[in-house]
Structure 1
Amino acid sequence: MKKVFRRSTALTVVALATVSLAVFVVASATASTKHKTAGTQVCVLLPDTKSSVRWVQFDAPAMKAAFAKAGVTASINNALNDPLKQKAQAQACIAAGATVVIETALDNGSAASIEKLFTSKGGKAIDYDRQVSGGSASVYVTFDGKAVGAAQAKGVLAAMKANGTYKGGTVAELWGGQTDQNAFWFKSGNDAVFNPLFKSGPIKKGPQQFVPDWDANNAATIFNQMLVKTSNKVQGVLAANDNIAGAVVADLKAKKLKPLPLSGQDASVQGVQNIISGWQSGTVYKYVPDEANAAAVAAVALIKGQKPKTNTSRKNGSKNEPTLALPVVWITKANYTRLFKDKFLKRTDVCVGAFKQYCK
């Protein structure tokens, strides 16, 4: 993520601090005295540090706390965007005794093979945040992807209407990484809102492209090409997450162009800073600790031979995969302080330097 643009200090520090992430969660003192457990019970495989700050800032610590509270031993790993490393981490977990894997896929092929390593030996797998097509997971724990995409599209349209560029305006779209099934789920929400309007005429379909690996450097290059192709005549931008939105903002600033209606996702520090300073219209808020805790609860249920809680299903090949889909919230300049109240972000991280003047 190697075109240069400004990214949040938090992301840089986090990425450097987690070059080798492997957190072992031990049972609580009370639980360990009553139920001695050898080795590892649950293997958590997180994808990277570049596609989003969430994996390090939120998912890993939330799962660590959840498993510690449950008295379950878990190995929490980050593959740093390397499928081979992720598979090696899975094999190390199995060698340590893990029987349940919580996996965020890097690609379907390697992810499915990792799940099979567990399920072929009588273990269980959980698809976490990204569905593994053709995998063997017992449950999929995620946020409602179509709702994410719909919120993003509606946010862009609302901003276009507010600044008078809705009628006849051109919308460019930068979707997520095409190896991630979530990118297509989010896109389905984008399409549900945008496509009828493209067809009927109020807005025009602009350049559209998936961003490999959700990488911000790739996004910067792609958006720069979109601006060249349209002679800078873009009135709205669908960015699949805050990372991609940050690249768009950097390109606009570099070309001395004005802010555009722009979506995001993840409610990151950088995303909120761009929102309060007027460079990003909004971001999809997914309270990640809820998802991490739900995955931990599902893992504990599987260890006990119980059926995890679900509320819907998602098509996965020829089968319907039991799914727990969690709700999302659209965050704008009007309600961003909710993130502080929820303790999802710290005011001291967002309201610093040049951004302090914009904070309520």
Structure 2
Amino acid sequence: MKRTRNIMVAVAMAATLSLAACGSDDGAGDGGSSEGKIGVILPDTKSSVRWESADRPALEAAFEDADVEYTIQNAEGDAEKMATIADGMIADGVTVLAIVNLDSDSGAAIQEKAAAQGVKTIDYDRLTLGGSADYYVSFDNTVVGELQGEGLAQCLGDTPANVIYLNGSPTDNNATLFSAGAHSKLDPIAAYTQVGEQAVPDWDNEQAVTIFEQLYTQAGGDVQGVYAANDGLAGSVISILEKNGQAGQVPVTGQDATVEGLQNILAGTQCMTVYKSAKLEAGALADTAIALVKGEDAETTGTTEDATGDRDVPSVLLTPESITKDNVKSVVDDGGVKAEDVCTGDFAALCEAAGIS
């Protein structure tokens, strides 16, 4: 996998194309002119709040700034529903289709059908293994895992520690990359001992509570650190640590820089998270999709290996940022979350101490 680790991608691109946009009840652009239409299918609302709270508004802003016709829908964690949405978008005339797959098999089937209809496809955030996407737009997900591993190591220090790994969905290639990146940083540290590891189906936070409690019990409660693949899973872990009087004593990682994750960091119950700017990622997707609508090649930063499909996918890979208590403010300043959402109730004083207002 080739990567460029420092990249700035413009969020807006002017367009002078000539077809009036039409509306939709689920996120269609109602202005602008275009020779084509862009469809985006988000995966769910359960695995992470980011898809609706961050990605959707960022994508809408990017497409509207670029003056292109678009529609954005959410599959709500249902692969069959995603396939139905894709069929509808293709029938409705989208010329570019971007998906966040729920699993590679169903994602590949959607892309195959789209290609047969002459529709260009983009993998957004998650690579579809064995798929046929023309482009892949995401953050460098191995680096995300590396930041998580480094963050946990910084919180644990050099003292001996038993570590549990709570990975994301086994059907999500990103989860595999996150875990691999974290292991690459933590495994070489002789002071750390892995005492449990398990993936959480569909990134389900409720299942994560049960899974982590079982791992914690199997380890006899002798746990000093937890790798949790995102903020939702981290919240599940913290709930069990609280139940056992260890919240704030056991460092826990996260990802997505959600309101809950940032609040947990400010409260000291979560060690760190990883910020992936939705504005930046949405801008990269918009630029890529708009280039395809115009019949042009998109600008990329390299390629990503799809070993299942035996091909290298042209890619735009962005650089994620590690967030700890010291720089929570940077997420607010960047517009990733609103201060008023984070700084509620007891968190107001913690925000003030962190320079957030």
TM-score (norm 2): 0.89
- In structure 1, what is the equivalent of residue 29 of structure 2? 25
Percentage of pairs with the same residue: 40
- In structure 2, what is the equivalent of residue 228 of structure 1? 217
Q: Which has the higher contact order (CA 8 A, sep 6+)?
A: 2
Cα distance in 2 between the residues matched to 1:258 and 1:115: 44
- In structure 1, what is the equivalent of residue 166 of structure 2? 174
- In structure 2, what is the equivalent of residue 15 of structure 1? none
- In structure 2, what is the equivalent of residue 7 of structure 1? none
- In structure 1, what is the equivalent of residue 70 of structure 2? 74
Do structure 1's residue 212 and structure 2's residue 201 form an aligned pair? yes
Q: Please, which runs of 5 or more residues in structure 2 have no aligned partner? A: 1-23, 353-357
Question: Could you tell me how far 1:27 is from its partner in structure 2?
Answer: 2.6
Q: How big is each residue's C-alpha offset from its partner over 1:43-79, in whole Å with a ceiling of 9 and x where there is no partner?
A: 1010000111111011111111211222211110000
Cα distance in 1 between the residues matched to 2:207 and 2:239: 13
Cα distance in 1 between the residues matched to 2:82 and 2:194: 38
How many residue pairs match? The answer is: 326
Cα distance in 2 between the residues matched to 1:190 and 1:312: 23
Cα distance in 2 between the residues matched to 1:237 and 1:275: 14
Q: Residue 244 of structure 2 is aligned with which of 243, 255, 276?
A: 255
**Could you tell me whether the CA contact under 8 Å between 1:284 and 1:330 is conserved in 2?**
yes
Q: Residue 235 of structure 2 is aligned with which of 214, 239, 246?
A: 246
- In structure 2, what is the equivalent of residue 337 of structure 1? 329
Question: Could you tell me how far 1:21 is from its partner in structure 2?
Answer: 7.8
Q: Residue 349 of structure 2 is aligned with which of 340, 348, 357?
A: 357
Cα distance in 1 between the residues matched to 2:344 and 2:48: 21
Do structure 1's residue 117 and structure 2's residue 113 form an aligned pair? yes
Matched residue type, 2:80: L
TM-score (norm 1): 0.88
Question: Could you tell me how far 1:257 is from its partner in structure 2?
Answer: 2.2
- In structure 2, what is the equivalent of residue 54 of structure 1? 50
Question: Could you tell me how far 1:26 is from its partner in structure 2?
Answer: 2.2
Q: Please, which runs of 5 or more residues in structure 1 have no aligned partner? A: 1-19
- Which structure is higher in helix share? 1
Q: Secondary structure of the equivalent of 2:41?
A: strand
Do structure 1's residue 133 and structure 2's residue 129 form an aligned pair? yes
Q: How big is each residue's C-alpha offset from its partner over 1:232-291, in whole Å with a ceiling of 9 and x where there is no partner?
A: 100000000000000011111122224211100000000000000010011001111110
**Could you tell me whether the CA contact under 8 Å between 2:238 and 2:247 is conserved in 1?**
no
Cα distance in 1 between the residues matched to 2:81 and 2:169: 19
CA RMSD of aligned residues (A): 1.4
Q: How big is each residue's C-alpha offset from its partner over 1:205-240, in whole Å with a ceiling of 9 and x where there is no partner?
A: 120111111111111111101111111100000000
Q: Secondary structure of the equivalent of 2:152?
A: helix
In structure 2, do the counterparts of structure 1 residues 21 and 230 end up closer, same or farther at CA, with 3 Å as the change threshold?
farther
